[in-house]
Amino acid sequence: MLNPGAFRWGVADSETTSGAQVTRLGYANGRFPAYFQFDRYLHQHYALYSWGHGEEVEEHFVGTWPHQVLHLVRWIARLEQQARTRERSSASTSPPSNGR
């Protein structure tokens, strides 16, 4: 399960517009934090995001604001999937409890 306290709003330098700053939502999930950056490019909404863990950054012209929200939902859903996978993995590698 995702930790709501691990999400942080911030400001980042735009990846597409020199000198501009944009909003970024980050999620601290270890050494490689995940982020979703609300950027603009060629006067359009533009999304850059990474799920952390050294994964590639995805970039998309997202069109309207509602479409940008859909990309944000996709990003959060994948973060949730990764968290569940890590939980199952750590549970399966933990030593069995002996009931003491």
| Paired strand residues for 44 | 41
CA dihedral of 46, 63, 82, 15, whole degrees rounded to 10: 0
DSSP code at position 100: -
Q: Residue type at 15? A: E
Reported as a single tens digit per residue, the pLDDT across 7-54 is 999 999 999 999 999 999 999 876 678 999 999 888 888 999 998 877
Asked whether residue 76 is assigned to any structural domain, the reply reads: yes
The reply to whether the predicted model has a pTM over 0.75 is: yes
Strand spans (E) along the chain: 7-13, 21-27, 34-41, 44-50, 58-63
Asked whether residue 97 is assigned to any structural domain, the reply reads: no
Domain of 52, in residue numbers: 4-90
Q: Give me the pLDDT at residue 96, please.
A: 59
Reported as a single tens digit per residue, the pLDDT across 60-95 is 888 888 888 999 999 999 999 988 887 888 777 756
Asked whether residue 96 is assigned to any structural domain, the reply reads: no
Asked whether residue 54 is assigned to any structural domain, the reply reads: yes
Q: Give me the pLDDT at residue 94, please.
A: 59
Give the span between the Cα atoms of 92 and 59, in whole angstroms. Answer: 35
Q: Give me the pLDDT at residue 25, please.
A: 96
Asked whether residue 57 is assigned to any structural domain, the reply reads: yes
Q: Give me the pLDDT at residue 98, please.
A: 62
DSSP code at position 97: P
The domain tally of the chain equals: 1
Asked whether residue 100 is assigned to any structural domain, the reply reads: no
Asked whether residue 98 is assigned to any structural domain, the reply reads: no
Give the span between the Cα atoms of 41 and 99, in whole angstroms. Answer: 58
Residue 99 has pLDDT above 60, yes or no: no
Asked whether residue 64 is assigned to any structural domain, the reply reads: yes
